[in-house]
Amino acid sequence: ARHNLGAACLQLGRLDEARRVYGRVLAREARNVEAITHLGAVLYQEGRVDEALVKVEEALRLDPSYIHAHWDRTQYLFLGKQDFPAAVKAAEAFLQVVPNGPDAESVRKLMGEARARAVKPGRRPGAGG
């Protein structure tokens, strides 16, 4: 039930409250990947992209198949960092876990866009975003 409260706070933009909720969960279960990932989402919404990425990486070390962390990592790299080569790798990792379905389609689209925006060596000099 606490997770639901945290998620609700997160969606409503009540970041301090969400942080407290997930902090309490992690005080009891330090390896709770859902709480770690959502804490990353709080950090991301605060504009603390690097710290958010640290959290999703931590979650993925604990559970390499945790879909939400894969999804968030792809989004943070693409939107937050605009690190398109890293976003492509994150998208590929997501698709290893979720090869089909609407989420996979969204990630494939994002991956195509990331590939297009990644500056590849040996292409036209000065090309790219």
**CA nearest to 34, candidates 15, 6, 14, 75:** 6
Backbone angles phi and psi of 66, in degrees to 5? -75, 105
Q: What is the pLDDT of residue 1?
A: 65
The rounded distance, in Å, linking the Cα atoms of 85 and 89 is 7
DSSP character at residue 101: S
- The pLDDT tens digits of the residues spanning 93-107 come to 999 999 999 999 999
- The pLDDT tens digits of the residues spanning 45-74 come to 999 999 999 999 999 999 999 999 999 999
The verdict on pTM exceeding 0.95 is: no
127 band by pLDDT with thresholds 50, 70 and 90: very low
- Classified as helix, coil or strand, 14 is coil
Of the listed ranges 11-15, 60-64, 83-87, 99-103, the least confidently predicted one is: 11-15
Q: How many residues does the chain have?
A: 129
Helix (H) or strand (E) holding 70: helix 67-75
